[in-house]
Amino acid sequence: MSNDSTRISEIFSSVQGEGVHVGRRQIFVRFIGCNLDCLYCDTQVESTDGNCFLEKVPGSGEFIQIPIPVDFTEVTEHIKKWCTGWQGLHHSISVTGGEPLLHGELLGNWLPALKKLLPIHLETNGLLYEPLSTIIQHIDHISMDIKLPSTSGENDLWEAHQRFISLARNIDCSVKIVVNAKTEKSEVERAAGIVAEADRNIPFIIQPETGENLNLRIAPLQLMALQETALTKLSDVRVIPQMHKFLGVL
């Protein structure tokens, strides 16, 4: 694969459904592949047919398919047309996955061109701090996860999260945790503590896991109790569900 192409599964326009930019319109560029296998993951991280789905018109839901790997010049030109034809529609470009930092070297080559069009919003699992260090100058906002063992099924990630946020705090950054009925107060305390060590004013998002039929897998009272726990260490703690699921959009 050349430095001018990469494995992207989707490019589309939608409303951001998670985190501090919830409700804002973004262009989503979804990269293939992830270094984790979280229990709650609802994203197809591998292409099933070898094609990337490219939305024709922003928000239309009509797609064409182009072969993977995708030529980045084609991606850039497509996004440029959207920015010209629908000026002011999009707040930013969401670089998401999977885990986009698995493609750190390629992002270093490509993000400067995208950043000329719109601000760059990186959605990441908050672990790959070394790739982040090489591209952070091209990013405007980082939305990073802290993976709780109770919901993700992943363990021993605390140190990597700590190293990641020590870099991410240098730009506009927010942190998200996914919680459910199994989430322990001690997990939220530890996650909030890691964030507080970096900067207690970093926005901290508590996201209830969404099940089938849009039911939340945690009781409202437990959610509020976890929020109270985090607020003992942090100044900005918000409970935000996955709004794009309730809106029925990508």
Q: Give the pLDDT confidence score for residue 30 in this predicted structure.
A: 96
Using alpha carbons, select from 26, 168, 9, 19 the residue that is nearest to residue 94: 26
Instruction: Check: CB of residue 174 under 8 Å from CB of residue 19.
Output: yes
Alpha carbon separation from 150 to 153, 184, 185, 241 (Å, rounded): 6, 8, 11, 18
Q: Give the pLDDT confidence score for residue 45 in this predicted structure.
A: 57
Q: HSE (CB half, 13 Å, CA atoms) of 99? A: 19
Sign of CA dihedral 160, 183, 173, 18: positive
Other beta carbons within 10 angstroms of residue 61's beta carbon come to 12
Separation CA 248–CA 250 (nearest Å):
7
Phi, psi (deg, nearest 5) at residue 224: -70, -35
Separation CA 31–CA 125 (nearest Å):
13
Q: Give the pLDDT confidence score for residue 2 in this predicted structure.
A: 52
Q: Give the pLDDT confidence score for residue 249 in this predicted structure.
A: 86
Q: Give the pLDDT confidence score for residue 223 in this predicted structure.
A: 97
Using alpha carbons, select from 143, 54, 162, 133 the residue that is nearest to residue 95: 143
Look at the pTM and tell me if it is higher than 0.85: yes
pLDDT in tens, the chain (250 residues): 456 788 999 999 999 999 999 999 999 999 999 999 999 987 765 655 789 999 999 999 999 999 999 998 999 999 999 999 999 999 999 999 999 999 999 999 999 999 999 999 999 999 999 999 999 999 999 999 999 999 999 999 999 999 999 999 999 999 999 999 999 999 999 999 999 999 999 999 999 999 888 999 999 999 999 999 999 999 999 999 999 888 888 7
Q: Give the pLDDT confidence score for residue 53 in this predicted structure.
A: 95
Separation CA 232–CA 247 (nearest Å):
32
Separation CA 96–CA 176 (nearest Å):
14
**H-type helices in 129-184, by residue range?**
129-135, 149-152, 158-168
